[in-house]
Amino acid sequence: MNTNKSLPSRYYLDPEIHEKEKSKILYTNWHYVGHVSQVANPGDYLTLQLGDESLIVIRGGDDVLRGFFNVCRHRAHILLEGKGNVKSITCPYHAWNYSRDGELRHAGNADKMIDFDKSEYCLSGFQVETICDFIFVNLDKNATPLNNQANGFEKDLRQRVPFLDRLKPLQYDTGRPFSINANWKIIVDNFLECYHCKKAHPAFVDLIDMDQYETKIYDIWSRQYAADANLENKAYKFDKHASVQDMCFWFLWPTTALGYLPGIEALFFSAILPDSVDKTTRFGHWLVANDTPLPDNFNNYMNNVLFIEDIDICESVQKGLGSKSYDQGPFMIDPNHSGISEIAVQHFHGLIKQSLGDIDGNV
């Protein structure tokens, strides 16, 4: 396949390729799920859906974060919903009871069964890791730790976000997840470049100094950065004395997007998770320093302007990919990897091809 062109349209449309992505990408890589403050106390838990898998992240009595498949080992009933705090995990179906570290503690009538070994029916687990108090999960028990894969990511984050250790979620469950009628890779493609910004996000390019916008790629992550912003702009106004005067976005393979914008010590952290071949949920939340609320004008621009513009773009692309007139398009990459370069999209597509291997002899 020509690396100077984007993935063929079938990668965004074919249910069989989507199934292969689940096994080769979704279930073998690290995904953002939340912040440690959301599961700060023993028994605190949160749940999430990753492809076909319902998952639990829970803090045990020993203060250790653990991840379990949210499925009873008896008849596969879902165990927990949403978020909350539990002393133990009891299945709503037959009342099998598990400790917060996943051990089966009680199964009705088990004492009358011959050779029933409770240790054989502990909850099935997966890997949990934290970076800068952000929680990531990986369903592959043999996966390399995230910090070893994403060389330099944590260091870069700490260097560029001096308020990082003062951050706490503004609101749990992020307010509202965005449901998008588009393949997950379209949302990632769109996040990874600002070639579209001048036309699609006029207020954003009025806010950010695009002449200083640059894109850098690393092993499994990338960064977009602009050193300065314009105080007088069409997006939102901010204090000229604000400690944050720049903008930075990061992408961490395969589904994590994060970043900050000028004017406020706040960071968004989100996951771009496929629901089906043409539907995606983007969830996450804003974290703020010192419990400072997000200004109304900032909130309005992000939620009611910028995000909506991007959703409309992605859903339109999904429709267009079904045209018989289109298959692939060129990557627009300038030598300086400026703000309008699509180098990070090319990098992302390379990781997709590397993960999926040969498809129809064309990768």
Give ∠ CA 317-318-324 in degrees, rounded to 5. 90
pLDDT of residue 174: 47
- Of the candidates 308, 317, 268, the one whose C-alpha atom is nearest the C-alpha of residue 288 is 268
- Rounded CA-CA distance 21/19 in Å is 5
- Rounded CA-CA distance 67/55 in Å is 7
Instruction: Return phi, psi of residue 82, to 5°.
Output: 60, -125
The topology under which CATH files domain 31-142 is Rieske Iron-sulfur Protein (2.102.10)
Q: Please list the residue range(s) of the chain that carry CATH number 3.90.380.10.
A: 1-28+152-363
- Rounded CA-CA distance 303/339 in Å is 23
State whether residue 177 is helix, strand or coil. Answer: coil
Residue indicated by tokens 């959301």: 38
What is the pTM for the complete model shown?
0.95
- Rounded CA-CA distance 139/89 in Å is 20
- Of the candidates 83, 75, 16, the one whose C-alpha atom is nearest the C-alpha of residue 47 is 83
pLDDT of residue 172: 42
Q: Point out which residues pair with 104 in neighbouring strands.
A: 98
Instruction: For 247-278, give one letter per residue: b (16+ CB within 10 A) or e.
Output: bbbbbbbbbbbbbbbbbbbbbbbbbbbbeebb
The answer to whether the beta carbons of residues 104 and 117 sit under 8 Å apart is no
Residue type, 351: L
Residue indicated by tokens 């249910």: 15
Looking at the chain, list the stretches that DSSP marks H as alpha helix, in order from N- to C-terminal side. 10-13, 15-21, 146-149, 153-160, 184-191, 197-200, 202-207, 296-301, 307-320, 343-356
Structure tokens at 208: 């950010």
Strand duo 104-106 + 97-98: pairing: antiparallel
Is the link from the previous residue into 202 a cis peptide, with omega within 30 of 0?
no
Question: Helix (H) and strand (E) counts for the chain?
Answer: 10, 18
Q: For the CA atoms of 204, 152, 273, 259, what is the dihedral angle to 10 degrees?
A: -20
- Rounded CA-CA distance 273/352 in Å is 15
The answer to whether the beta carbons of residues 70 and 293 sit under 8 Å apart is no
Q: Point out which residues pair with 98 in neighbouring strands.
A: 89, 104
Residue type, 295: P
Structure tokens at 329: 């398009």
The topology under which CATH files domain 1-28+152-363 is Naphthalene 1,2-dioxygenase Alpha Subunit; Chain A, domain 1 (3.90.380)
Q: Please list the residue range(s) of the chain that carry CATH number 2.102.10.10.
A: 31-142
Listed as ranges, residues in the chain with pLDDT below 50 are 1, 172-175, 363
